[in-house]
Amino acid sequence: MHSRITALRTLHWRAFRQLLIGASLVPALVTAFAGPTNAPPKFQSRPRGSVAEREFFEDVVKRTAAENDAEYTKILGELGLKPEDGEHFKLQLAELHRKAIAAGGAMTELLEARVAYDKEIRAALGNENYGRYRYYEESKTARREYELLREFASKSNNLTLDPAWSEKIVRLIKDSKVTTTEDWRGPYDPRPQPEAGLAMVTVGLSRRAAEYRQASSNLFQTLPKSDLPVEYQRLLKDYCSQHITEMDNQLAKYTVPEEEYYRRILEEVRKRHRELMMHQRLNSTNHTF
């Protein structure tokens, strides 16, 4: 089973990179198939501090491994692993501990840099302008969502949003947190939470779908008191409802056995490949004449 899944994953990535560059088959595909060439965002394991500090953390890893050795030997043995296999996994546990320390150091550096930036920008701007700047930063996600809403209105309802209502809509989106995009790069953005592997991606999708559903409900309750034109209220409801349906459909794709999921992905890759080949043949024929 494992070898078949590995083969499917390898084939998928080769086909995806060679045939489908620029095409989006399944949202969150990159994070679902964290591989060496398409890995989710992650921090480099850069040592912090002195050699003595690194030696200290290595000693922590070794002491922790020694303290847990008997317990893991017992449980892995009871679960049927041979002693040599048990040793292999205990070494992997120690390596995970090292990577956790390295990742924790990198995350600490990020948080310290954000705090330092906030302190400097506040001193440079003064309290009043700092407040305006913070609103700008914290409303960027809502503004991105407004642009998506504007595109949705144009395509689905043939409706052009009046710019006079843009700030009102942005604030409603921001206050209700009914957003479908997320960024980690800004000074006040959420901390990076990369997801790798089908199980983690499924959990993440489920969490985001539940949060979006609740945010949409909060927005719907607010709309009657918002003074927005009725057609704009209806537009926002339609927009959110469509995203809820899309999230449910997307989640359904992931909540299948792993081998079945990779089989479906492979079918999509082959379908896309056939479409590309057909398109190339048609272009070749047209150039001939």
Q: Note every long-range contact of 11-16, with CB atoms under 8 Å and residues 24 or more positions apart, other chains counting.
A: 11/266, 12/262, 12/265, 12/266, 12/269, 13/37, 13/38, 15/266, 15/269, 15/270, 15/273, 16/269
Query: In the listed set 77, 105, 137, which residue is the last one of a domain according to the structure?
Result: 137
> What DSSP assignment string belongs to 83-146?
HHHHHHHHHHHHHHHHHHHHHHHHHHHHHHHHHHHHHHHHHHHHHHHHHHHHHHHHTHHHHHHH
Same domain, 96 and 82: yes
Residue 231 belongs to what domain range? 139-274
pLDDT in tens, the chain (289 residues): 444 444 444 444 443 333 333 333 333 333 333 333 333 333 334 445 567 777 888 888 888 888 888 888 888 888 888 888 888 888 888 888 888 877 777 888 888 999 999 999 999 999 999 999 999 999 999 999 999 999 999 988 788 999 999 999 999 999 999 998 877 788 888 777 666 666 777 777 888 899 999 999 999 999 999 999 999 999 999 999 999 999 888 888 777 676 776 777 778 788 888 888 887 777 766 655 5
Q: Which residue has the tokens 């953005």?
A: 189
The domain tally of the chain equals 2
Same domain, 175 and 84: no
Q: How many CB atoms lie within 10 A of CB 261?
A: 19
- Confirm whether 192 is domain-assigned: yes
Same domain, 199 and 249: yes
Same domain, 105 and 197: no
Residues 32, 61 contacting (CB under 8 angstroms): no
Q: Which two tokens stand for residue 61?
A: 């890893």
pTM of the model: 0.58
Query: In the listed set 137, 165, 186, which residue is the last one of a domain according to the structure?
Result: 137
Same domain, 107 and 214: no
